[in-house]
């Protein structure tokens, strides 16, 4: 199966929309024939960008969140940084979703132990040297969607960022990017972006500042209508029926921090802080899944479930094909598989995802 040919056919029929101010962006690509990244590319207009994509057929395509006066300069210090969009990255790879035992596996390079689910180190010998096989299913995307909606709510309600300036993008793999194209934020330096990232993650909250004494016990002292984290914590206490309940001091503090953990947005802070980040180009195909990097409106993100988002991100044909693979994930995208047999019939777009991620997967026949 010529996966590169499938990508070419997609790009021939589907021009990629340009990012704003395309002439001030750096672009970068990887190809099917090389693992290295081709950087310091710039385009004057959308037509030039799409000609390049059709001719080169990239496996992965990125553009800079930063604006430059000379984006094609080979040295970063010569590009002339003029500001950067703020981007938040939500990736379920960092979240212990309940579906991971259904599709993720690990094997310890040190002792050979192996198992299913999320493992940061070997539970047998403690080694952190693990080989991992990870997959994405609709349940993963559902968790990431909830995190994205929490983030959007914090940005809008607490930081006053307009919905019209936030663009949620399904990454085509494990989660979402939230692009913020607010001119008031473009000039922010790295440290200011770190503070925003810390805020949405609920870092630095001291529960002692949120409680007051009542007799021998303590109670939470802010109503749910209070701005920022004060009201956000109150709402989560109310969901537990504990908003007015006097409790021992340490018990109440522990409860408050549990509410913070529920309410915070699990983002990759390194992406938000980076003022020269390369981010996936919406409208292109993700080279590890074949799914489309899909821009959405906030209203669409709120209305669509994970299955609908995946369905809309499918960009390759659904022709039935026979696939052979040694160890099948029990669940991937919206499909559930039994452990019986190494050969199964699946849609072509899913076969591409399997082949791009498993060295043992191969397409046997079409139709």
- Residue 265 CA, distance from chain mean position: 12
Helix (H) or strand (E) holding 100: helix 100-103
> Which residue matches tokens 């040297």?
129
Residues 322 and 198 sit within 8 Å (Cβ to Cβ): no
Cα separation, 108 vs 87, in Å, equals 34
Token pair listed for 27: 């672009």
Cα separation, 237 vs 260, in Å, equals 10
Is-catalytic flag, 91?
yes
Cα separation, 95 vs 106, in Å, equals 16
Which residues contact residue 118 at a Cβ distance below 8 angstroms, ignoring those fewer than 6 apart? 96, 100, 104
> Which residue matches tokens 């040694």?
326
Cα separation, 50 vs 206, in Å, equals 51
- Burial class of 262 by CB neighbour count within 10 A (0 to 12, 13 to 18, 19+): middle
Instruction: Pick the catalytic residue from 85, 91, 104, 274.
Output: 91
- CA distances for 354 relative to 30, 169, 195, 344, angstroms: 20, 23, 39, 12
Instruction: Pick the catalytic residue from 85, 89, 104, 138.
Output: 89
Cα separation, 346 vs 352, in Å, equals 10
- CA distances for 22 relative to 17, 34, 47, 266, angstroms: 10, 26, 11, 30
Instruction: Pick the catalytic residue from 85, 138, 268, 274.
Output: 268
Question: 64 - beta bridge partners?
Answer: 278
Question: 218 - beta bridge partners?
Answer: 213, 247
Residues 91 and 118 sit within 8 Å (Cβ to Cβ): no
Active-site residue list:
89, 91, 268
């Amino acid at each position: 199966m010529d996966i590169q040919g499938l990508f070419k056919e997609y790009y021939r029929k589907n021009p990629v929309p340009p990012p704003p101010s395309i002439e001030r962006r750096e672009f970068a690509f990887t190809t099917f024939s090389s693992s290295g990244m081709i950087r310091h590319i710039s385009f004057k207009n959308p037509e030039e960008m799409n000609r390049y994509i059709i001719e080169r057929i990239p496996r992965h395509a990125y553009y800079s969140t930063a604006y430059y006066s000379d984006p094609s300069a080979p040295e970063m210090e010569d590009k002339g940084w003029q500001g950067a969009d703020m981007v938040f990255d939500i990736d379920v790879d960092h979240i212990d979703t309940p579906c991971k035992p259904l599709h993720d596996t690990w094997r310890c390079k040190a002792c050979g132990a192996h198992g299913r689910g999320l493992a940061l180190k070997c539970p047998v010998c403690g080694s952190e040297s693990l080989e991992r096989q990870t997959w994405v299913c609709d349940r993963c995307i559902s968790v990431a969607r909830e995190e994205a909606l929490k983030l959007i709510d914090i940005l809008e309600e607490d930081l006053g960022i307009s919905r019209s300036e936030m663009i949620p993008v399904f990454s085509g793999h494990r989660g979402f990017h939230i692009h913020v194209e607010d001119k008031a934020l473009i000039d922010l330096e790295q440290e200011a972006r770190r503070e925003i990232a810390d805020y949405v993650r609920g870092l630095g909250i001291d529960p002692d500042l949120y409680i007051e004494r009542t007799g021998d016990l303590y109670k939470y002292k802010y109503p749910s209508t209070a701005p920022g984290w004060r009201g956000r914590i109150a709402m989560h206490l109310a969901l537990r029926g504990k908003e007015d309940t006097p409790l021992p001091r340490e018990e109440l503090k522990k409860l408050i921090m549990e509410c913070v953990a529920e309410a915070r947005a699990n983002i990759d802070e390194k992406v938000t802080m980076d003022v020269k980040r390369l981010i996936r180009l919406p409208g292109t195909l993700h080279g590890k899944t074949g799914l489309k990097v899909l821009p959405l409106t906030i209203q669409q993100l709120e209305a669509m479930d994970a299955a609908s988002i995946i369905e809309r991100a499918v960009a390759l044909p659904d022709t039935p094909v026979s696939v052979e693979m040694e160890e099948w994930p029990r669940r991937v995208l919206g499909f559930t598989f039994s452990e019986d047999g190494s050969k199964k019939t699946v849609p072509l777009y899913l076969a591409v995802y399997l082949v791009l991620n498993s060295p043992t997967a191969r397409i046997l026949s079409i139709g």
